[in-house]
Structure 1
Amino acid sequence: MTAPLRRWLTPVVAVFAACAVFAGPAPALAAPNTPTPSGHAEDDDPPLISEAIANANRNFLQAKTKLEKSKKRQLQLALEVRAAQQELDALSPQVTAIAAQSYRTGRLGVMTVLLESRSPDSFVRRVAVLDELNMVNAQKLAAVNAAKTRAERAKLALDAEVREQQKQTNVMAREKAETEKALKLVGGMGFTGGLVSATSPVARIGPGRTADGDWKPESCSENDPTTSGCVTPRTLHAYKEVRRAGFNRFAGCYRPGGPWEHPKGRACDWSLQKSGFSPWHNNDMRMYGNNVAAFLIRNADRLGIYYVIWNRQIWFPATGWKSYSGPSNHTDHVHMSLL
């Protein structure tokens, strides 16, 4: 037995008590491929969290630019509405005068002119006056209608700009919130170095979860696939789901002795290499550990995760990531404990 393996068989960690509170189920997402030994992901790998954050920032800036343009357009449309309204106000007395004249005299027409004309010259003069009056009135009414149409169109456009501004504001808020949430969930940029997939596959729900989201107690009744010991059905399920997600490097679950979860069959350690344990010293190992931890955390409420320890940090569903110092700094493996 190698020294790293003997070290794994010693008590793992002292864990701070915490209440397990679970987030909502993770959305269905594509499974990440395991990084290659060179430290580079395959061509069909999903984007890193850093790339997803950069894309969210671009969306935020694009929405911000659209918002600023919309505000400028809103100001122009407000001026158009005001100008059209002022034109309407100026034309209003003339329209009132035309209406009053029509009320007093009735509509002037050819028959009225003929009845009141006593000579050909008088008839010609009256026809000319009639044509001029009707032309002036028609022009004034047309100007009123045009001003009214401009005001209505400008107001509709103004309302549309207000809606567009609200839309872009919502986009900005959503991108900001999603970026902060994604970063916080995986421990932040400093913790991961950005070397973590932006998504994780969705795990199948483990055994023993009740309708209200609680988990039934389980005994160490299943054969541990990593040792000659035992694990709980929920631990075995989580182990298989991690493997199914593509994390196939060395792992160890049951270990006798100690007060914590390993001797209860409720914990597994996920190494960063194919055999034994060694602290991460390249991007491939760091990203592998980050992705294992991210998978467990993103599926915590589906697997029944109690806590995760990785790279000097401990994660509880109730508290998120916190600094951790214990017998092991967990830079050579990801520890998972199940409820």
Structure 2
Amino acid sequence: MPAVATVRPAARTAALIAAGLALALGAALAPFSAASAAPGDVGDEGGTPALRAQLEAASKGYLDAKTALDRSVDRQKKLAEQLTTTEGQLTERSDKVAEIAAQAYRGGRLGAASALLNSGSPAGFMDRAAALDAVAANEERALRDLRTTRDEVSKTKQALDVEVQEQRKQVAVMAKRKEQAERSLTVAEERAERAERAAAQERASRTPARGGGSSSPTAKPAPRNANGSWPAESCSVNDPTPANGCITPRTLHALNQAKAAGFTRYVSCYRAGGSGEHPKGRACDFAAQKNGFGGVATGGDRTYGNNLAAFYVNNADRLAVLYVIWYKQIWLPSSGWRTYSGARGDPSSDHTNHVHLSVY
């Protein structure tokens, strides 16, 4: 796997607690056995239920607004194309009506009566009368088409204005959700500072490894609804990891994609207790070390974690990622990477021994 770029974090340390990560290995993923990976459990990952709920709500709201924004932009494009076509028709029909009006002006009002009176026979009179009816019908149709096209142009412009307003609305929602997530992280940060752990956290985060390299494999997208939104899913499929329990189909898909990309070390997903996404089957913890969860990951183990975090960040839109936590940092779709630390300062709560993933 390619090395992951590192970026220096902000000076302030942020105290965050990882929300339960929901991802799952699919049917294509052979179940992990106790013999293939050392037992272990990261346990409670710290933080408060309120904080985890804020992070989940902020990321879900951001993703929903982004989906709505994408749909609105697509509708605007189609409406703009429709408007161009309709305005072209309007020009043609306006020219046609203008031509008919000019001909009527040149012929004079007595033109029709003269044509009838100058017919030499009853049959000729009827033929000319029928011809005049056809001309009148053609003129009426041209006027009707012109009025219809003008109405279509007006309606299309109104619909386009509505979509522009919708776009502005969704952009505002995205900004609000971003602010919500960052405010939650700031509150956690202030609590950490009051706990007098700032110095230790600063030393540990001087050279953090942030996932986000550009060379990660491309994951197969998870299924979406016809309108581009994520379908609601329950904890309905078996968790193939040693945690057993259940996970959502989308979690299973994300877990399978990680395995297909070469990330095959110990994983634990479902956890019955606590809050967050684990009990909902929407989160997984990926050990950085080959033998399961242990101490702080270093060397090749840390590189493995860097690359796994980068894989999920670079495929976030395809896999419905809510957030990723790794090595004292958290990635959110609205804010990117932010400094993060757990409540206890141990490898599990600081996520220095495992990558935590939560999906929508």
Provide the TM-score with structure 2 as the length reference.
Answer: 0.44
Which has the bigger relative contact order, CA under 8 A and spacing at least 6? Answer: 2
